[in-house]
């Protein structure tokens, strides 16, 4: 079917092919460049030309600027049907009447042969029309039909055979008359890309979800192919054709598939394909749209084959239950002999659907077959201990500038470098610039970021299919940055338990069910409530957490050219495997877990992010952080002695400190000295002081003064 307003523009005889191509695109036509002297639509863009035609001005300029390429109008994808008349005297009556009564646009191809050329109609039929003549076939032949798989060469392209392309009649393209359409056959085989409206209608129509698990396999397959260096365009094309066919067969919603497969395609296309070319985000979107249109064009013909393929792997969908036949069936529910009694009294249509009210079999738990979750995801402390549990929800809380995002990005960097995928949903930033910059500062390579980080900046409330598409990427970590902004976006009441519960069902549960650790970045209230500080809003935010709640309390500000520091506490640990690795504080339920240091103070050394483990106090009341390394512990004593030997007990920068330690006869690595200095600061035996040129220096603190330091609480 045609897009509204399809027309043929007025093309000046002196117009360049670039100007004309832009005019055709503005009039609703998908266009392709063709090499001079040919009519081959793939002569410039290659064999997969049906998926590459475009209406985008930037792409058109890139194709035609400074070239002698001709113009091909992509008939099927533009929603048109063209009658290519070679012998006007043999035209069948149906076509002749349509030509004479509709004022359809007409492009002459041979000025010396009146009536010869292209007659253009819009396809409003609700079906695809192929290139066969059907009932319009005559003998002698009159010409050909350009439908789903067709193109025509358009003015002002020079005619390769000595003729001349010229629009004798322009204007709005009229719908094809019914009497003419009735004579045309449908497309017998998938020959071409679908039009924009056909794509939209396909996505709207195919929403069934008989085997949604099949989609994850395709996402995994495409990701593996692209990581192995396969062709980005061709690999995505093949997988999307399978996905759209499976969607047409009702296996999963078509929109979910389009959304899920976009992520691995975009990551590869924008970072560098197998050809070495990296597309811009806009170019990647255009190319992907063409691939989707091509895949939709093949879907219906391949649906039966796709259904058989999926059912061979996952089995057939369960048949719908028979409706209750009488009052007895309605009274006793849907149980049948031989079926396990589940207590499901949900009525007709629910016999095979779990209610979540069935009793859970306890045998696997009693036999030790269920794996107890361990904190194995995200940022590792200096002693190797991690804080996040797979498949559980966590929260990191803190006031503004306490380092919540740095903590989250440290977790993301650890997973990315380990070869895992991370979904980062940022509700407070509209683009990934800051996130990408910080990850690169943390040492994550650009290729890894492009391949494995899936950054989302939503401005619309999530729909289940959208979230399912992200969960299908199988991330090990999902970060929800800006929980309050996210709840506001979804219309959830921050102060109400119902609002928190609804938000969790929409944006947390789909990811934890997929096995991901979910980390929400949230704010503390401005006013302390009692002896504890929980996230702003309903206490249900914390009550329902099944992972850990982590609180950051800033001790030194973070920033460019600065060395920021926050103390890290665990105030909830539902699985119970973290507190034994921390130190208790004076506040019940609040466990000191270490000190997060982000050091960007030295312009000559890379940024460092370290979570130092607590240094156990002899009195059992910890509150200082150390890295647990014997080398650092030993170096800390040396560094403290060197500092005490300097005028006023201080040095002006970390580089100066390293130099003085070496001058004192202690061979050392820069990083060990820096870690030792950080340990001294964390334990209160040194303080940071401003140095020259915005450097950070250190001053020793006497043992007596350090001993009077109050316990962290």
pLDDT by residue (tens digit) across 664-676? Answer: 888 877 778 887 8
CATH topology of domain 629-707: Arc Repressor Mutant, subunit A (1.10.10)
Does the pLDDT at position 530 exceed 70?
Answer: no
Q: Closest Cα partner for 403 from 524, 494, 242?
A: 524
Interatomic CA distance for residues 168 and 107, integer angstroms: 6
Q: What is the pLDDT of residue 528?
A: 52
Q: What is the pLDDT of residue 704?
A: 42
Q: What is the pLDDT of residue 333?
A: 42
In this predicted model, what pLDDT tens digit does every residue of 539-562 receive, in sequence order? 767 777 889 999 998 888 888 878
Query: Of 394-408, 585-599, 636-650, 665-679, which gets the smallest average pLDDT?
Result: 665-679
* Section 27-31 average pLDDT: 94
Q: What is the pLDDT of residue 291?
A: 87
Q: What is the pLDDT of residue 23?
A: 95
Q: Confidence class of residue 535 from pLDDT cuts 50, 70 and 90? A: low
Q: What is the pLDDT of residue 67?
A: 93
Does the pLDDT at position 709 exceed 50?
Answer: no
Q: Closest Cα partner for 542 from 585, 588, 574?
A: 574
Query: Of 199-203, 384-388, 549-553, 672-676, which gets the smallest average pLDDT?
Result: 672-676
Q: What is the pLDDT of residue 167?
A: 94
Share in percent of the chain as helix, strand, coil (round to 5): 35, 20, 45
Q: Confidence class of residue 276 from pLDDT cuts 50, 70 and 90? A: low
Query: Of 218-222, 365-369, 534-538, which gets the smallest average pLDDT?
Result: 534-538
Q: Confidence class of residue 319 from pLDDT cuts 50, 70 and 90? A: low
Query: Of 99-103, 461-465, 603-607, which gets the smallest average pLDDT?
Result: 603-607
* Section 99-113 average pLDDT: 91
Interatomic CA distance for residues 655 and 227, integer angstroms: 41
Q: What is the pLDDT of residue 526?
A: 53
* Section 190-213 average pLDDT: 80
* Section 430-456 average pLDDT: 90
The correct answer on CATH 3.40.50.300 for the domain covering 377-614 is: yes
* Section 702-707 average pLDDT: 46
Residues 6+ apart with CB under 8 A from 267: 226, 450, 451, 452, 453, 454
Mean pLDDT of the chain: 81
- What torsion, rounded to 10 degrees, do the Cα atoms 350, 352, 358, 361 define? 180
Q: What is the pLDDT of residue 540?
A: 65
Does the pLDDT at position 482 exceed 80?
Answer: yes
Q: What is the pLDDT of residue 622?
A: 38
Q: What is the pLDDT of residue 702?
A: 66
Look at the alpha carbons of 513, 514, 516, 521 in this order and tell me if their dihedral is positive or negative. negative
Q: For the chain, which residues make up each domain, given as ranges?
A: 7-181, 196-314, 377-614, 629-707
Q: What is the pLDDT of residue 131?
A: 67
Does the pLDDT at position 370 exceed 80?
Answer: no
Query: 292-307 burial by CB neighbour count: b if 16+ within 10 A, else e?
Result: bbbbbbbbbebbeebb
For tokens 């609180």, name the residue.
551
For tokens 């030295």, name the residue.
602
Preceding amide of 140 cis, omega within 30:
yes
Does the pLDDT at position 695 exceed 80?
Answer: no
**Which strand (E) or helix (H) includes residue 397?**
strand 393-398
CB of 329 within 8 A of CB of 322?
A: no
Distance of CA 156 to the CA centre of its chain: 42
Does the pLDDT at position 334 exceed 70?
Answer: no
Does the pLDDT at position 443 exceed 70?
Answer: yes
Q: What is the pLDDT of residue 298?
A: 82
Distance of CA 166 to the CA centre of its chain: 46
Does the pLDDT at position 342 exceed 70?
Answer: no
Q: Confidence class of residue 627 from pLDDT cuts 50, 70 and 90? A: very low
- 159 CB-contact burial (10 Å; exposed 0-12 / middle 13-18 / buried 19+): middle
Q: What is the pLDDT of residue 326?
A: 46
Beta-bridge mates of residue 690: 696
Interatomic CA distance for residues 93 and 387, integer angstroms: 78
Q: Which residue would you say has higher pLDDT here, 686 or 683?
A: 686
For tokens 């002749």, name the residue.
96
In this predicted model, what pLDDT tens digit does every residue of 40-69 receive, in sequence order? 888 898 877 888 889 989 889 999 998 999
Does the pLDDT at position 337 exceed 50?
Answer: no
Does the pLDDT at position 170 exceed 50?
Answer: yes
* Section 65-77 average pLDDT: 92
Does the pLDDT at position 82 exceed 60?
Answer: yes
* Section 495-515 average pLDDT: 88
Q: Confidence class of residue 153 from pLDDT cuts 50, 70 and 90? A: very high
Which residue blocks in 66-160 are alpha helix, DSSP H?
75-78, 93-102
Q: What is the pLDDT of residue 453?
A: 95
Q: Which residue would you say has higher pLDDT here, 713 or 585?
A: 585
**Which strand (E) or helix (H) includes residue 453?**
strand 453-456
For tokens 């076939």, name the residue.
137
């Amino acid at each position: 079917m045609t897009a509204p307003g399809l027309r043929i523009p007025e093309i000046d005889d002196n117009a360049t092919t670039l100007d004309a191509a832009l005019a055709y695109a503005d009039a609703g036509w998908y266009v392709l460049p063709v090499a001079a002297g040919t009519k081959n639509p793939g002569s410039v863009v290659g064999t997969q030309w049906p998926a590459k035609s475009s209406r985008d001005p930037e792409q058109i300029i890139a194709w035609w600027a400074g070239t002698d390429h001709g113009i091909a109008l992509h008939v099927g994808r533009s929603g048109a049907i063209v009658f290519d008349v070679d012998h006007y005297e043999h035209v069948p009556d149906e076509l002749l009447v349509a030509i004479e009564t509709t004022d359809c646009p007409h492009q002459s191809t041979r000025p010396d042969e009146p009536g010869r050329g292209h007659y253009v109609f819009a396809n409003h039929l609700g079906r695809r029309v192929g290139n066969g003549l059907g009932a319009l076939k005559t003998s002698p032949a009159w010409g050909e039909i350009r439908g789903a798989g067709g193109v025509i060469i358009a003015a002002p392209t020079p005619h390769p055979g000595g003729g001349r392309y010229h629009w004798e009649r322009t204007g709005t393209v009229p719908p094809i008359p019914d009497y003419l359409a009735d004579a045309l056959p449908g497309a017998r085989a998938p020959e071409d890309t679908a039009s924009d409206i056909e794509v939209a209608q396909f996505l709207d129509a195919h929403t069934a979800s008989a085997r949604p698990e099949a989609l994850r396999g395709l996402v995994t397959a495409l990701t593996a192919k692209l990581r192995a260096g396969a062709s980005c365009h061709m690999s995505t094309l093949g997988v999307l054709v399978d996905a759209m066919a499976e969607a047409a067969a009702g296996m999963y919603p078509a929109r979910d598939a389009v959304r899920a497969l976009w992520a691995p395609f975009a990551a590869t296309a924008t970072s560098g394909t197998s050809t070495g070319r990296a597309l811009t985000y806009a170019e990647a979107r255009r190319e992907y749209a063409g691939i989707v249109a091509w895949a939709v064009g093949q879907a219906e013909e391949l649906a039966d084959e796709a259904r058989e393929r999926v059912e061979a792997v996952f089995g057939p969908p369960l048949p719908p239950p028979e409706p209750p036949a009488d009052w007895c069936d309605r009274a006793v529910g849907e149980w049948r002999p031989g079926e396990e009694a589940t207590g499901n009294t949900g009525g007709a249509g629910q016999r095979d659907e779990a209610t979540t009210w069935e009793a859970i079999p306890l045998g696997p738990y009693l036999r030790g077959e269920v794996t107890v979750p361990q904190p194995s995801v995200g940022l590792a402390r200096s002693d190797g201990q991690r804080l996040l549990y797979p498949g559980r929800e966590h929260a990191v809380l803190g006031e503004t500038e306490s380092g919540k995002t740095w903590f989250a990005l440290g977790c993301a960097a650890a997973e990315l470098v380990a070869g895992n995928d991370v979904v980062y949903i940022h509700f407070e930033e509209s683009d990934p610039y800051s996130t990408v910059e910080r990850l690169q500062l943390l040492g994550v390579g650009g290729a890894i970021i492009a391949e494995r980080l899936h950054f989302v900046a939503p401005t619309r409330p999530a729909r289940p299919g959208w979230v399912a598409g992200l969960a299908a990427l199988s991330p090990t970590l999902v970060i929800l940055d800006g929980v309050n902004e996210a709840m506001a976006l979804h219309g959830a009441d921050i102060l109400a338990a119902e609002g928190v519960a609804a938000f969790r069902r929409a944006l947390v549960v789909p990811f934890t069910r997929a096995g991901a650790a979910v980390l929400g970045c949230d704010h503390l209230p401005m006013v302390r409530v009692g002896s504890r500080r929980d996230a702003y809003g309903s206490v249900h935010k914390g009550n329902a957490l099944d992972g850990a709640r982590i609180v950051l309390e800033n001790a030194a500000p973070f920033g460019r050219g600065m060395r920021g520091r926050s103390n890290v506490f665990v105030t909830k640990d539902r699985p119970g495997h973290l507190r034994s690795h921390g130190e208790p504080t004076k506040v019940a339920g609040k466990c000191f877990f270490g000190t997060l240091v982000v050091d960007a103070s030295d312009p000559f050394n890379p940024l460092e992010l370290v979570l130092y483990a607590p240094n156990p106090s002899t009195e059992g009341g910890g509150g200082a952080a150390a890295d647990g390394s014997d080398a650092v512990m030993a170096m800390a004593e040396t560094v403290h002695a060197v500092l005490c030997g300097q005028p006023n007990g201080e040095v002006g920068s970390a580089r100066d400190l390293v130099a003085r330690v070496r001058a004192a006869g202690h061979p050392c690595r820069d990083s060990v000295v820096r870690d030792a200095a950080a340990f001294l600061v964390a334990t209160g035996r040194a303080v940071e002081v401003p140095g020259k040129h915005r450097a950070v220096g250190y001053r020793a603190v006497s043992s007596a003064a350090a001993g009077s330091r109050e316990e962290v609480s």
